[in-house]
């Protein structure tokens, strides 16, 4: 990566009224991460060492969110929304610190990739003063058109200011630009607002730089890089593109996805080679899967760690804090929360394990429930190595089942069970020979008597 210093100015002061939301537009999520955080990631991926976020609408929400995804960013409030050049100038103080490269990015254009930005920076390094990231489309309506001459870019014309001829140009402005730091403020300060919208257009710096004899060029990126989000339909479109990219990346890294279009990843999902993911699986945030695991169909997984060769699902729900160690099994209709399932342990059917440890090799019978909550507090269940919990048992926490402990089916266990002990926590069965037949005869004659009484009336 180049040694040149780089500041990324991210514009996010727009109101986003078309989202019809109480949440600022750029905080709506793609793959579980605010869209503006995707933009920050791309900037960092392209080598930006400093970040300036220009905010307006929902400033408080933005500050709170940015503390998580961009803790080092400087925040600037654009009080009045007077156009993209005006917005960049809100970050004047950051720009004037003096950087080699300034990357101007939009907070609502989340699929911009680091390569496109790095390529633009590369052109600055070669001597250009302004590099505009462009894309080609058959439907250019609404975008600024890139007007080129002799390999250089001479102007960007906004749709509303275009002539009929210019409207036919299919090479468009993605919005993002790389500007040489030493020229940035001088160019931005020269922008006026004499145009159809009466706004200070960032795009005007192209002509201004040209008039000063500076080198201005356009680079070309894919359409996705330019996809701006204005409503929830576009949000879903961006999510779809993001998921498609991520699925392909996972497959090329050695993960089998049987029906890739039905598997959903989060921005931070980590998944090892030779893992097989069956159809309809959801990975929420914070999931790590090691190598060689099997994730069966219809599993919902978030905040969980799955070690190598584990077997999960079908229809498993792993919630935050689920920690499955090597070769553990969590089967159908089981929920695991804040619990370690140690090596080779099996939780196979219709079970809830919460706030617990299941020791290595333990076997949890169908329908077992850890009763971890009394309506006020959570309590821990510790199940020792090699323990056997009979089906339909309730383990009332806090409770400890010792190593090798054996719990009879249908037990309600309220007291600790020592190592290798057998515990029953249920009524004993009573069997009375012949009593079943006697009962049946009694009931039959009672029913017959009732019927006869009815027909006599």
- Residues with a known catalytic role: 349
Residue of 99, 143, 242, 283 that binds ligand UD1 (CB under 6 A): 143
Interaction between residue 317 and ligand UD1 (CB under 6 A): no
Q: Report the distance separating Cα 79 and Cα 264, nearest Å.
A: 38
58 — phi, psi (to 5°)? 65, 40
Of the candidate spans 61-69, 195-203, 216-224, 403-411, the one that interacts with ligand UD1 by CB under 6 A turns out to be 195-203
Residue with the CB atom nearest Mg ion in the bound state: 228
* Distance set, CA 374 to CA 39, 226, 357, 377, 380 (Å): 44, 52, 19, 6, 12
Nearer to ligand UD1, 78 or 351 (CB): 78
Closest by CA to 99, choosing from 179, 45, 11, is: 179
Least distance from C-beta 346 to ligand UD1, angstroms?
Answer: 51
Q: Report the distance separating Cα 304 and Cα 211, nearest Å.
A: 57
Interaction between residue 14 and ligand UD1 (CB under 6 A): yes
Could you tell me which residues come within 8 angstroms of residue 445 by beta carbon, excluding any fewer than 6 positions away? none
Of the candidate spans 172-180, 346-354, 365-373, 402-410, the one that interacts with ligand UD1 by CB under 6 A turns out to be 172-180
Select from ligand UD1, Mg ion, none the partner in contact with residue 107, using the beta carbon and a kind-dependent cut-off of 5 to 8 Å: ligand UD1
Q: How far apart are the first and last CA of the chain?
A: 101
Select from Mg ion, ligand UD1, none the partner in contact with residue 14, using the beta carbon and a kind-dependent cut-off of 5 to 8 Å: ligand UD1
Q: Report the distance separating Cα 14 and Cα 88, nearest Å.
A: 13
Select from ligand UD1, Mg ion, none the partner in contact with residue 78, using the beta carbon and a kind-dependent cut-off of 5 to 8 Å: ligand UD1
Q: Binding to ligand UD1 (CB under 6 A): which residues in 74-93? A: 78, 81-84, 86-87
Task: Name the helix (H) or strand (E) containing 166.
Answer: helix 164-167
Residue of 51, 52, 54, 312 that binds ligand UD1 (CB under 6 A): 54
Select from ligand UD1, Mg ion, none the partner in contact with residue 346, using the beta carbon and a kind-dependent cut-off of 5 to 8 Å: none
Q: Concatenated DSSP letters for 388-418?
A: EE-TT-EEESSEEE-TT-EE-TT-EE-S-B-
Could you tell me which residues come within 8 angstroms of residue 436 by beta carbon, excluding any fewer than 6 positions away? none
CB of 53 within 8 A of CB of 76? yes
Between CA 226 and CA 231, with CA 230 as vertex, the angle to 5 degrees is 130
Of the candidate spans 171-179, 252-260, 350-358, 390-398, the one that interacts with ligand UD1 by CB under 6 A turns out to be 171-179
Select from Mg ion, ligand UD1, none the partner in contact with residue 153, using the beta carbon and a kind-dependent cut-off of 5 to 8 Å: none
Of the candidate spans 116-124, 200-208, 261-269, 350-358, the one that interacts with ligand UD1 by CB under 6 A turns out to be 200-208
Residues that bind ligand UD1 (CB under 6 A): 11-14, 54, 78, 81-84, 86-87, 106-108, 143-144, 156, 158, 172-175, 201-203, 226, 228
């Amino acid at each position: 990566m180049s040694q040149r210093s780089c500041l990324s100015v991210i514009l996010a002061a727009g109101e986003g009224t078309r989202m019809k939301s109480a949440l600022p537009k750029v905080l709506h999520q793609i793959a579980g991460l605010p869209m503006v955080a995707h933009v920050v990631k791309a900037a960092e991926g392209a080598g930006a060492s400093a970040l300036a976020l220009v905010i307006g609408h929902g400033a408080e929400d933005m500050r709170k969110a940015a503390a998580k995804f961009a803790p080092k960013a400087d925040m600037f409030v654009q009080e009045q929304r007077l156009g993209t050049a005006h917005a960049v100038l809100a970050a004047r103080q950051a720009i004037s610190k003096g950087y080699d490269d300034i990357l101007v990015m939009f907070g609502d254009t989340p699929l911009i990739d680091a390569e496109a930005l790095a390529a633009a920076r590369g052109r600055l390094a070669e001597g250009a003063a302004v590099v505009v990231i462009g894309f080609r489309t058959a439907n250019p309506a609404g975008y600024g058109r890139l007007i080129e001459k002799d390999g250089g870019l001479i102007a960007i014309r906004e749709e509303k200011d275009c002539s009929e001829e210019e409207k036919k140009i299919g090479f468009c402005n993605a919005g993002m630009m790389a500007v040489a730091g030493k020229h940035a403020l001088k160019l931005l300060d020269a922008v006026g607002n004499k145009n159809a919208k009466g706004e200070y257009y960032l795009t005007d710096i192209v002509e201004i730089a040209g008039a000063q004899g500076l080198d201005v060029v356009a680079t070309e990126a894919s359409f996705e890089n330019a996809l701006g989000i204005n409503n929830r339909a576009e949000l879903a479109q961006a999510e779809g593109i993001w998921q498609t990219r991520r699925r392909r990346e996972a497959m090329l890294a050695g993960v089998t996805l049987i029906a890739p279009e039905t598997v959903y990843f989060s921005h931070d999902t980590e998944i090892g080679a030779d893992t097989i993911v069956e159809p309809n699986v959801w990975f929420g945030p914070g999931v790590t899967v090691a190598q060689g695991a099997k994730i069966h169909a219809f599993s919902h997984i978030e905040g969980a760690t799955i070690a190598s060769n584990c077997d999960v699902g079908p229809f498993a729900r792993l919630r935050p804090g689920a920690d499955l160690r090597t070769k553990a099994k969590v089967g159908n209709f089981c929920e695991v929360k804040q619990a370690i399932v140690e090596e080779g342990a099996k939780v196979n059917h219709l079970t809830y394990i919460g706030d617990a440890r299941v020791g290595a090799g333990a076997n949890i019978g169908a329908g077992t429930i850890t009763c971890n909550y009394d309506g006020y507090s959570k309590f821990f269940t510790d199940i020792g190595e090699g323990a056997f919990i009979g089906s339909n048992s309730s383990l009332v926490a806090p409770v400890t089942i010792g190593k090798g402990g054996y719990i009879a089916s249908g037990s309600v266990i309220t007291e600790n069970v020592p190592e290798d002990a057998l515990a029953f926590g249920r009524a004993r069965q009573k069997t009375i020979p012949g009593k079943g037949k006697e009962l049946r005869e009694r009931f039959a004659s009672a029913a017959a008597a009732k019927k006869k009484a009815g027909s006599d009336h």
